[in-house]
Structure 1
């Protein structure tokens, strides 16, 4: 009987372990992540831990870095090379281990003991005998409820898979925004290099005029001030660009000689036609990975509630097999024990699980409302940013150029003084800087809108940070308005 109990317990354990792993593997989960990423944003990804494409990914990264970067290539490098993303992939392994653990029954326990007969007086009525007892004990509920716990863990595993996909999309969006910031600051740097060259030439010309007595010292000082401020703005632009390049280096996971990459000199122009997307709310809802995560969390919480309810009925049930020997006679038989839920019926656990389930459900509906609102707001921001950038490109910049030409003519005819000429130059510089900033804002808005339609929300903090970081260049020239207006 003892032998039969032992093999039966081992058989139950083996079946439970196999059922806990059936249909689940981290490799299969990552292949689904790859498919989701390809369908949503069109980039290949690889996991160093379980793919043989490490060398191929390194070669792809090297090839892309050896040519001027565009946004798509920067994103691809980040997805292949970012080690924090590789660390995120390990969440699949952790979640897989939780599935294995949930589907594994508790170990059986062995108990043994005995008594030994001691020498008796010759006149004793009964002779002493040795007595041995062996028991094997196992919590039967770990087998009975193992499938329920495994099912809940598999839901968490599926949630982890969705979160990994979301992390890939987050990195892609962040890299794209950072790349556009680098491009905008590169363009800003080129503009200030031209400004420094122009103001230096203006200052030298003013110095020559001052030496021959054609302009007063005040005009020379104003020209000198604009020149010095333009050099400060250039220095600030160089520092800002270097900082943004380092952030992009971190996102792409490159260091050493690989940081010597170059980018296309200018931000992409705005398409002639605005984005035509119908039913943006419907698309955002259907594609939302955030909603999918919330839905899986509801399922997982519901399954955990089911486990809590089931275990509240019989918290513990032990099945034992006993083998006993006394006086040379062996006896075997079963035994069992269970916990009586007289006081602790897991009321707190069941109430907490039920409340958690209701909370998850309410969060799901709230998230759906938020997604609809966010995609509408993102669409409006995109259209507004597009219109603003086009207005600068087609109206304000040409107007400022014409204004400067007219003021220069009047200055040459001695109809206006140096302050008015410097003010016109400053206004043209400001317009150029604002155009670059608005063009950058358009690309940030487009990246945000596309990411939401592809299924991943972008936090307002991320967008605000991107915009604030992209608007910090050229502040040293702002005070020149006052200098030119006197």
Structure 2
């Protein structure tokens, strides 16, 4: 006796579940990256790239080498390099690829299971049973659309997360460049003062040998020189560490770390850029707010999905036909097998309550995030305006007065009205004014970097690089 079981209608039903448009979108080699690249370009003015092969990496390294090796780089160049060479950013893009793969799998729909068994009963092969059953999950088929929507929302969330990572790295890189240049500028100012102090210390030692200066006055000159030497060493170390942080963010190593930054920050603009609409732009463009709105959609969809599947608990369906042959007679009969589990209690109200509370939690977090974004925009505008005013005060008021003092002191010294050490005392005070002015200019450019970031987000803190 031979028994044959063949599945009939299920393959066509399950195949129809696949969303061909979604499959085409999710299966693209760089699925979702166009939006990431465009948003990043609009926010930073620089292009980013997703490397998926050794050739891509090699081409990127050649481009980076041409941009930085042996050159003094600007903030824009530093950001450009980071967006194509930072490996943490490439890892974020790989996460986007994983999300696209998940979406692709969901869009394909339930995958039929082919079960084949051949049983040989008895010592002879006269009796065989051949069963072929094609099983499909009725629950998967019934919820295919909702699950595809959920996967698509998760994919969109992965896009926003990739954008947020790119913007955060761009923001950190711009700040690191400002900090590095500011540190080198401060080190240069201290070094100039050190040269003057060394000359004064040598003069004091010579006068001490002739008896024209007592030991206390000599010590005052020597200690100033020693203090400046310590300050210069600290300034050099700070500049070195700041540059190393910038190097990490740009993803550089080996021979590529041989690059330079300017010794002085750019001059202040004549006026603060008009950014009175920062608040409006932040609400329209912030990536974190877009992610919050997307989370609300996800919660609502998950709640609807839970409601639609509450009464369908793990149902599987096999549809086919059974053919039995005994001797020369064949008997056919239709076959439907259904297995299911019934919930032991009604969870409808529980699921509804949980969905409502999850939605309200996300809605309130989003509302507070919007309030915070408004406040951050106002703070950024106040910071850049205030920093510009302070830096210009040092540049236009304090430093010109210090230059006047230095010029008059030099005239008095040349006219033998003041001593060398009085001239050097004025130089010490002038160094402090120059360092304060440089720090104020650095604070302005840091505030400028923060104001750029507040419009789009990407200001998340974390491990560098």
- Inter-partner Cα distance in structure 1 for 2:91 and 2:308: 37
Aligned-partner SS, 1:301: helix
**Residues of 2 paired with 1:371 and 1:438: CA distance?**
26
2:356 alignment partner, one of 339, 354, 357: 354
Q: Note the residue ranges of structure 1 that are not aligned, 5 or more in a row.
A: 119-128, 467-486
The Cα shift of 1:143 comes to 1.4
1:204 alignment partner, SS class? helix
Report how far residue 407 of structure 1 moved: 6.2
Q: State how 1:311-322 maps to structure 2 within 5 Å.
A: 311-321=309-319
Provide the C-alpha distance between the structure 1 equivalents of 2:217 and 2:418, rounded to a whole number of angstroms. 12
Between the aligned partners of 2:173 and 2:128, the Cα distance in structure 1 is: 77
**Following the alignment from structure 1 to structure 2, what is the Cα–Cα distance between the partners of residues 384 and 260?**
36
**Matched residue, 2:248:** 250
Relative to structure 1, the CA distance from residue 133 to residue 213 in structure 2 (aligned partners, 3 Å threshold; closer, same or farther) is closer
- Do the aligned residues in 2 keep the contact of 1:27 with 1:50 (CA within 8 Å)? no
Is 1:341 the counterpart of 2:343? The answer is: yes
Q: Are the structure 2 counterparts of residues 54 and 136 from structure 1 closer, same or farther at C-alpha, using a change threshold of 3 Å? A: closer
Q: CA deviation at 1:18?
A: 4.6
Counterpart position of 1:70: 74
Residue number among 445, 448, 456 corresponding to 1:446 in the alignment? 448
In 2, the alpha carbon distance for the partners of 1:384 and 1:197 equals: 34
CA offset at residue 319 of structure 1? 1.3
Whether the 8 Å contact between 1:17 and 1:100 is mirrored in structure 2 is no
1:382 alignment counterpart: 384
Residue 301 (structure 1) aligned to one of 290, 299, 302: 299
Q: Give runs of aligned pairs for residues 7-406 of structure 1, distance below 5 A.
A: 8-19=9-20, 21-24=23-26, 25=28, 27-49=30-52, 54-65=57-68, 66-103=70-107, 104-108=109-113, 110=115, 135-321=133-319, 323=322, 325=324, 330-332=331-333, 333-343=335-345, 345=347, 348-403=350-405
| Cα distance in 2, alignment partners of residues 383 and 288 from structure 1 | 22
- Does 16-25 or 371-380 show the bigger shift? 16-25
SS at match of 1:398: helix
Residue 4 of structure 1 deviates from its aligned partner by 4.8
Higher relative contact order (CA 8 A, sep 6+): 2
- Alpha-carbon separation, structure 2, partners of 1:98 and 1:134: 30
Aligned to 2:102, the other structure's residue is in SS state helix
Q: Structure 2 CA distance, aligned partners of 1:135 and 1:425?
A: 94
> 1:464-483 residue pairs with structure 2 within 5 A?
none
Cα offset for 1:411? 8.1
Q: TM-score, normalised by structure 2?
A: 0.87
Q: Is the 8 A contact 1:183 1:267 kept in 2?
A: yes
Tell me if the contact between 1:314 and 1:341 (Cα under 8 Å) persists in the aligned partners.
no
Contact 2:186 2:235 (C-alpha < 8 Å) held by counterparts: yes
Higher mean C-alpha displacement, 89-98 vs 336-345: 336-345
Which stretch has the larger CA shift, 340-349 or 294-303? 340-349
Q: 1:101 to 1:344 in 2, by over 3 A?
A: farther
Q: Is the 8 A contact 1:108 1:139 kept in 2?
A: no
Moved more, 284-293 or 396-405: 396-405
CA contact (8 A) 1:382 1:446 kept: yes
The alpha-carbon deviation at position 428 of structure 1 amounts to 2.2
Change (3 A) 1:330 1:437: farther
- TM-score scaled to structure 1, two decimals? 0.83
Displacement after TM superposition at 1:212 (Å): 2.1
Post-superposition offset of 1:113: 8.4
> How far has the Cα of 1:308 moved from its partner?
0.9
Going from structure 1 to structure 2, the CA distance change for 1:394 and 1:192 (only over 3 Å counts) comes to same
**How many Å separate the matches in 1 of 2:451 and 2:256?**
31
Give the drift of 1:408.
6.8
Decide whether the 8 Å contact of 1:132 with 1:326 is kept in 2: no
Matched residue of 1:313: which SS?
coil
Q: Secondary structure at the match of 2:221?
A: helix
Are 1:134 and 1:324, in contact at CA under 8 Å, matched by a contact in 2?
A: no
Q: How many residues align?
A: 452
